[in-house]
Amino acid sequence: MRQQQLADAACSVSSLGELLRKSESRLDAAGIDQPALESAWLVEHVLKLSPLMQRINTERGLTPEECEGVQVLVERRANREPLQYVLGTQEFCGRDFFVTPSVLIPRPESVLLVEEAVRRCVQISDATIVDVGTGSGCLAVSVASALPTARVLAIDASTDALVVARNNMARYGVEARITCLQGDLLDPIGQEGLPNQVEVILSNPPYIPDGDVENLQPEVRDFEPRLALAGGRDGMDVHRRLIAQAPAYLKPGGALLMEVGIGQAAAVCRHAEEGGRFRTYVVLRDQGGIERVVCFEKKEESLSSSSS
């Protein structure tokens, strides 16, 4: 019924210019910030016509399929589904990644994790790197692409997320060097026989305090996976668990890199230092000046304690 209504409405649109105006006004009414821009992107996705060519072809006619195709996407966006899920893609670190509602949409600040992992491993041949909570695989793919001799293990609790990650790994031809493992945090690499052998463990864990999830914008709250967002009462459950698990797998001097939420860096660093196995060597700030990635090095003496 709804599809039929959409088709009827679409057929009543006589030109590209009119379709653009109606789409913009629908998105505007739904509270979308940049309705003209987003309408143009949705039209581009269906018609394969750039925003520039749309502007100089406003008299162009449309097939019913084109009208309906655009209107279905506009309705999804008007329902506050993120544009990235509607278009099925998000750019990260210079590459386009497939995204579905099974994975978090990659955020630009997570590039800090990639840069630091690459900085630490660029001189090491055959480095072993573990990405915990790989989601779309954006971090694992970016690291593997920058380090052509590295071996990467990408772990996620969600089997649906791993399907998306594998597609992205194949898209960029790095699937042979990335092992995807399903399970809870570092548990799956226990079976890979990697005690004290990993150079870098990186993770962008869920870090929103459970009680704050309901206050997020609708695009995030209603569409991104809760497993990728909610990090326990104070948002730092996964950080604490990784700090406890990581020393058994890291080489002495190896690094644990974790993204944190606003105001969490000091507490996570304190927790890591108090545990006695790590020293904080840097806290990286994002472009907004927010402390965003905590970087820990496994202390030498933890070799004896972990092997005893």
Contacting residues toward ligand SAM, per CB under 6 A: 103-104, 106, 110, 133-136, 138-139, 155-158, 161, 184-185, 204-206, 227-228, 238
Shortest Å distance, C-beta 41 to ligand SAM: 21
For residues 279 and 296, what is the distance between their CA atoms, to the nearest angstrom?
5
Taking each helix axis from N to C terminus, what angle separates 265-275 and 237-245, rounded to the nearest 10 degrees? 30
Nearer to ligand SAM, 146 or 157 (CB): 157
Three-state DSSP at 11 gives: helix
Residue 289 CB partners (closer than 8 Å, separation 6+): none
Nearer to ligand SAM, 70 or 132 (CB): 132
| CA distance readout (Å), 225 to 35, 158, 242 | 25, 10, 21
For residues 63 and 60, what is the distance between their CA atoms, to the nearest angstrom?
10
Nearer to ligand SAM, 145 or 204 (CB): 204
Phi, psi dihedrals of residue 22, rounded to the nearest 5°: -65, -40
Shortest Å distance, C-beta 201 to ligand SAM: 12
Residue indicated by tokens 């790989």? 134
Nearer to ligand SAM, 47 or 138 (CB): 138
Shortest Å distance, C-beta 25 to ligand SAM: 33
Shortest Å distance, C-beta 160 to ligand SAM: 9
For residues 229 and 213, what is the distance between their CA atoms, to the nearest angstrom?
8
Q: Are 130 and 201 in contact (CB under 8 A)?
A: yes
Shortest Å distance, C-beta 164 to ligand SAM: 9
Helix/strand/coil percent split, the chain, to 5? 50, 20, 35
Nearer to ligand SAM, 177 or 241 (CB): 241
Closest to 153 measured CA to CA, from 165, 163, 164: 165
Nearer to ligand SAM, 106 or 254 (CB): 106
Nearer to ligand SAM, 113 or 147 (CB): 113
Shortest Å distance, C-beta 156 to ligand SAM: 5
Shortest Å distance, C-beta 101 to ligand SAM: 12
- Which one-letter DSSP state was computed for residue 104? P
Shortest Å distance, C-beta 23 to ligand SAM: 29
Closest to 114 measured CA to CA, from 93, 90, 130: 93
Q: How many helices (H) does the chain have, and how many strands (E)? A: 15, 9
